[in-house]
Amino acid sequence: MTENDFMPGDYQNLPKNGKVSWKAPSNIALVKYWGKRPVQIPANPSISFTLDTCATTTSVSFERKEKKDNFSFDLFFEGKSKDDFKPKIQTFLERIEKYLPFLKEYHFIIQTSNSFPHSSGIASSASGMAALSLCFMDIEKQLFPSMEENVFHAKASYLARLGSGSACRSIKGSLVQWGNHANIPDSSDLYGVEYPFGVNPVFKSYCDTILLVHKGQKQVSSTVGHQLMHGHQYAQNRFQQAFDNLDKLKPILASGDLEEFIKLVESEALTLHAMMMTSMPYFMLMKPDTLQIINKIWAYREATKTPVCFTLDAGANVHLLYPEDAKEKVLEFIKDTLAEHCENGQYIHDKVGEGAIKINT
Ligand code: DP6
């Protein structure tokens, strides 16, 4: 699909009011998106596990209004009015208006909440933008009931991308790929697609325990981090590596070769952070506890041969990835050895999920 497929038809019979609600999951990238060009086009392809427990639920109530020269919305986060999120939503609405021209016809009340604790340091922009995009698509579907499922999902992902790049991978499950790649049919820079190749069952129930190392504000936002890939000395090699890693991942995902999976995933995580440390200005998002956890994972894996590994997103938290059949052992390991490195001993158990769902209002 191209941008044209997402252009709107002529609207007639706009409903007077209504309410829609969606729950969208977070995702964790195996091959990372880091670097982009306008507007929200990734410098390299990426792939992620869709998560299950960590999710945002958003409901949008809409009411026709008289004046149509501006966007009009109220925003509530966990029941409280949240004005500091408004500029981000305003920019998002400006970016997506071209594809959803009914947006200025309504006053919206957007109510959103996360399943994970507020200030856990888990980015909610992916699940948040995905849930909001699905709500808007749901309204569009009321105008065009014959819209096909695949267009609905691709356009929701397209819109979510314009809110936050990684959000486009939070619509469907369980493995989502985003970014043009010559060897991946139907891959696109514009939206995420369900991974089209064979995936060993071991990955369908993979576990992800998020170790909350640092819950505070990050020193450098993802948006700034992406920008620092422009003119970065190692950028071109890094982008090529991501393309190559997607090729390498194909037989690994098909066979369930966990040894190779671990090597690729951990290398991706450390490369992402190496890019941050070699940006100008350079920065570091890992904390001492992040490194202690990584070392403990390596020692534990060596000693027990348990196929547990880590990945990182743009922060200090560690995602511990392991197959479901290792769960019992790994939970002991977390409790006994890793929890002490988490802020207030906090961690969240999650697993691979099936994608966003509509909530009946
Ligand atoms: C490190 O999607 O948060 O998590 O497009 O600026 O909103 P924006 O960035 P964002 O970047 C995520 C980067 C990452 C890797 C990944 O999820 O692929």
61-71 confidence digits (pLDDT tens)? 999 999 889 99
Q: Please give the CATH superfamily to which domain 204-351 belongs.
A: GHMP kinase, C-terminal domain (3.30.70.890)
Q: What is the percent of the chain with per-residue pLDDT over 90, rounded to a whole number?
A: 92
Fold of 3-199: Ribosomal Protein S5; domain 2 (3.30.230)
292 contact partners, CB below 8 Å, separation of at least 6? 341
Å from CA of 162 to ligand 1 middle: 12
Query: Identity (one letter) of the amino acid at 265?
Result: V
Q: How many CA atoms lie within 13 A of 215 on its CB side?
A: 15
- Work out the average pLDDT over 256-282: 98
267 preceded by cis ω (within 30°)?
Answer: no
The DSSP bridge partners found for residue 44 are: none
5-45 confidence digits (pLDDT tens)? 999 988 888 999 999 999 999 999 999 999 999 999 999 99
134-157 confidence digits (pLDDT tens)? 999 999 999 999 999 999 999 999
pLDDT for position 118? 67
176 contact partners, CB below 8 Å, separation of at least 6? 27, 47, 48, 50, 169, 170, 192, 193, 194, 195
123 contact partners, CB below 8 Å, separation of at least 6? 26, 222, 313, 314, 315
Q: Whose CA is nearest to atom 3 of ligand 1?
A: 222
Band of pLDDT at residue 121, cut at 50, 70 and 90:
low
For ligand 1, residues with CB inside 6 Å are 29, 32-34, 40, 46, 123, 125, 164-166, 222-223, 226, 272, 313-314
Q: Where are the domains of the chain?
A: 3-199, 204-351
CA angle 269-233-245, nearest 5°? 35
Mean pLDDT of the chain: 96
Q: What is the DSSP string of 128-150?
A: HHHHHHHHHHHHHHHH-TT--HH
